[in-house]
Amino acid sequence: MPRRFNTAGPCLFEDHYMLSPEERLPQVRALIDGKHFFVIHAPRQVGKTTLMRNLSRTLTAEGKYAALTISLESFMEGGPETVMPQLLRKLSWESEYFLPAELQPPAVEKFTGDPLVVFQGYLSAWSAAIDRPLVLFLDEADSVTGPVLLSLLRQLRDGYTARPRPFPRSVALIGLEDVRDYKIQVRPDRETLGTASPFNIKVRSLSMGYFTAAETAALLRQHQKETGQVFTDEAIREILHQSGGQPWLVNALAAQSTTDYDALVQDRTIPVQRTHVLAAREILIERRDTHLDSLVSRLREPRIQRVIEPILTGDATAGDTVYDEDFAYLQNLGLVTVEDGTRRIANPIYAEIIARVLINFVEACIPEPPECAGEDGTLDMMGLIEGFVEFWRENGEIVLRGISYQEAAPHLVFMGYLQRIVDGGRVDREFALGTQRADLVIHYGKTQKEVIELKLIQAPKAVERGLRQVSEYARRLGRDKGYLILFDREATTPWEERGEVEEMETGGVTVVVVRV
């Protein structure tokens, strides 16, 4: 059976297109050879488990080590007295499948002592019983909390410091967070191990990055090599752009284009074009697979809202309120990134899904959107603007109150209205902290592009700055016209009189300015 792009579980060389795990994180082998304990942390779905499981198989097959990867995800609840015996049984069960008999641990039944030392004793006995150094990878390590986590880390530390007595040659903790951020307790959402971590024996904390342009192309060209089906250069660039290099998204876009049961281009003689990638993007956004849904389901969390909301508005005054710890938390989830010193949503697909989730309420308030398609098939932008002004006058005050992201509410109202109008078109959204705006580009039909900038009036020169920004953005896209929507939260004008529209010329670009 031909290999395929994988979006479910760890990758296997025999079944899936995949990059060499060791090439993605080459330091791991040296750390193991150096007898070190270390940490690997990265957002979900970037290849951590794939790396460890394939490396375990390779290390064991080479004959130098006995290596095993196990997940700690199932040990989220209970105290050491219940979890430690379960952990030993899981080690025994996993080793029966992944290791030959001569490398398997002693019988679990012999280890029934104090739960605060039994894990250390088990690993010590296992290391003494086999003729190879033992290497252990503990996946989902940060899913364990409280007394169990402390006991686990202390027993690893005590075994490490007791060497050269038998103990694993190398242990890696793998998860979303660095070990210093692991939670001591479940209740306080910011209480962590900090500098007093009992895992202070770690020598390195490694982080797996997203795919580079070269890695994305290399993965996609494995499909070309095995099937003859080509991804055009434009398609490869679009996959990288839409995914931001996030490995699961790269695979999901490629799979929806080529290897899924409902793939868009199943004929291997037809090249995968940019248009196919954009269609695959829309399918992913509409379908919201488990990985995507698990991210957006957390948008109501206060610490997530504190970061996402000012990014949506481009708030330049939010530096003091967007806590580094909150931002790091979202980075660990993979929701945000830093690009050229600017904090933004991690990739266009996440940005689009976040926007659509937050504007659902607004769309529901527009049961019958006005028809804005012209007779020539183009989008009537002035009709769209006039329709929005009318909607804002009649419903704006009520709709704003129903949006949980209050600081970004005006932007979300317009985006919700736009989403209902641009049926069959596409809206690209660009959000970044500190830019003082949100940029939208409407793609309609084959050639129509319209530039819209949303801006809160927060400073005396906000209008002047907005005109300049929209003019520069329009020129960059080869347009001679743009639209600037200005929201004044402090306006005293009655709602029914809001919506002044005027045209202004800036830098060779005609800018339609709408004040609401």
CATH (domain of 164):
3.40.50.300
How far apart CA 212 and CA 453 sit, in angstroms, is: 30
Are 369 and 489 within one domain?
yes
Average pLDDT, the chain: 88
Of 144, 172, 207, the last residue of a domain is: 207
Q: Which domain holds residue 274?
A: 213-287
Are 347 and 482 within one domain?
yes
How far apart CA 516 and CA 482 sit, in angstroms, is: 17
**Residue 359 scores a pLDDT above 80:** yes
Residue 371 domain flag:
yes
Are 166 and 262 within one domain?
no
Residue 245 domain flag:
yes
The mean pLDDT of 475-485, rounded to a whole number, is: 92
Are 339 and 233 within one domain?
no
Are 394 and 495 within one domain?
yes
Are 194 and 239 within one domain?
no
Are 277 and 319 within one domain?
no
Question: What angle, 0 to 180 degrees and rounded to 10, lies between the N-to-C axes of helices 348-364 and 274-287?
Answer: 50
Of 175, 207, 239, the last residue of a domain is: 207
pLDDT at 368: 76
The mean pLDDT of 335-359, rounded to a whole number, is: 91
Phi, psi at 345, each rounded to 5°? -65, 145
Residue 15 domain flag:
no
Structurally, how many domains does the chain consist of?
3
Residue 12 domain flag:
no
Helix (H, G, I), strand (E, B), or coil: what is residue 162?
Answer: coil
Contact 450, 360 (CB under 8 A): no
Of 188, 207, 226, the last residue of a domain is: 207
Residue 297 domain flag:
no
**Residue 370 scores a pLDDT above 80:** no
Q: pTM score > 0.75 for this model?
A: yes
Residue 303 domain flag:
no
**Residue 179 scores a pLDDT above 60:** yes
Residue 227 domain flag:
yes
Residue 385 domain flag:
yes
Which residues lie across from 138 on neighbouring strands?
A: 70, 173
Are 87 and 179 within one domain?
yes
The mean pLDDT of 237-260, rounded to a whole number, is: 97
